[in-house]
Amino acid sequence: MKILLKLLPGLLPLLVYIIIDSFLPPKTAISVAISFGIIQFVLIGIIKKQWDKFILLDTVLLSLLGGISIIFDNEVFFLWKPALIETLLVLLLAIIYFTNINILFKWMGHYMEIPEITEEQTIEFRKNLLTLLILFTLHIALIVFSIYNLSHEWWAFISGVLLYIIMGVWLIAQLIINKINLNYRKKELVPILNDQLQIINVANRDEVHNGSKMLHPVVHLYVFNNEGNLLLQKRSNKKEIQPGKWDASVGGHIAYNEKPEDALFREAKEEIGLKKFIPQLIHHYIWESQIEKELVFVFVTKILDQNQLKLGKEVNELRWWTKKEIFSQLGKQFFTPNLEYEFLNILDKIWKS
């Protein structure tokens, strides 16, 4: 909304015309809009001591459109006018799409500071432009079809209300897609650390699991109950790493810009349905296997309400274990290497069975 407000000055003459054209005669509407543009152009020039070329361009285009409207002031032109206005918009979008999108960024930069645009953002912007071009072109075709083949009421609906519906649906779809993509990127991107445990880059999960040995942070949680038993999860058989083996109660990556505790609560909810618990950080260490290198934060907690536990999609089974039962299965490919290391070097020292 703030961006739209900053861009508003360059669009005001056109917006004024669109609003008043619906209830004033064409000559009066265009005269008022042009007068408004001239006054706005002069006032902003005096206040800012800089002539706004974009307002001037907007006003000139309105003058041309107004002149055409006055010259061809008849029923046929009245029906064609929405399609012609939309065609001007399509031509502008086409120029931007097929030449250089910097034209639009230059215009936006006239009213607000534009950060450096990445290649990925440019590609995404061009995709949105192409979508708008297709939508507007199809809508123009529908208007023309309605002029010669449908009733006046249908023409009025297609040339006006339908456009708002199309744009509304498109905007809502964009918001939903952006929200999904944002959540996906937040979850999938993990920070890459140097030997001093400082963040130096980001990567996706596939990149840190392909043998690159890029150091990245993860969380492990061990859940105990009042009887002193330890909850372990059996990993899904569909897991690429250590499928079907017993592992920590909860385990997962820390996403980029995410705190270890936040990652812990997110993973606990996703994997075992655990929401209410108080975690305690007891250790951290670097774990290196054939395919990855992790900075592991080990947490423990005790829960009273076991009814909140439920299987997540990536978990085959949950089970409470005694210390003796775990000892009896060590070294038999029953547990993940991480679990055996943490049990022998960390949990065994604090677990009072």
What are 169-225's pLDDT values in tens digits?
A: 998 988 888 777 666 655 578 999 999 999 999 988 888 988 889 999 999 999 999
Q: 101 phi and psi, to 5 degrees?
A: -70, -10
C-beta separation of 129 from 97 below 8 A: yes
Q: How far is CA 342 from CA 272, 284, 287, 303, in A?
A: 20, 10, 10, 20
233-250 pLDDT, tens digit each: 999 888 878 889 999 999
Neighbours of 227 (CB within 10 A): 8
CB-based contacts of 162, cutoff 8 Å, min separation 6:
139, 142
Instruction: Tell me the C-alpha distance between 216 and 144, whole Å.
Output: 58
Instruction: Tell me the C-alpha distance between 174 and 163, whole Å.
Output: 16
Query: For residue 191, what is the enclosing H or E element?
Result: strand 189-193
- In terms of CATH, what superfamily is 194-350? Nucleoside Triphosphate Pyrophosphohydrolase (3.90.79.10)
DSSP 167-178: HHHHHHHHHHHH
Structure tokens at 306: 């076991």
Instruction: Tell me the C-alpha distance between 75 and 69, whole Å.
Output: 11
Chain centroid to CA 349: how far?
A: 44
Q: 316 phi and psi, to 5 degrees?
A: -85, -35
Structure tokens at 299: 């947490």
- Beta pairing class for 230-235 and 315-321: antiparallel
- Beta pairing class for 250-253 and 246-247: unpaired
- Count Cβ atoms within 10 A of the Cβ of residue 331 and give its class: 0-12 exposed, 13-18 middle, 19 or more buried: exposed
Give the model's pLDDT for residue 185.
Answer: 57
pLDDT in tens, the chain (353 residues): 444 444 555 667 766 776 776 667 767 877 887 888 788 888 878 887 777 666 777 677 777 766 766 666 667 777 888 888 788 778 877 877 787 655 555 555 554 555 555 555 667 778 888 999 999 999 999 999 999 999 989 998 998 889 889 989 998 988 888 777 666 655 578 999 999 999 999 988 888 988 889 999 999 999 999 999 999 999 988 887 888 999 999 999 999 889 999 999 999 999 999 999 999 999 999 999 988 999 999 999 999 888 889 988 889 999 999 999 999 999 999 999 999 999 999 998 988 76
Q: Give domain limits for the chain.
A: 1-73, 75-191, 194-350
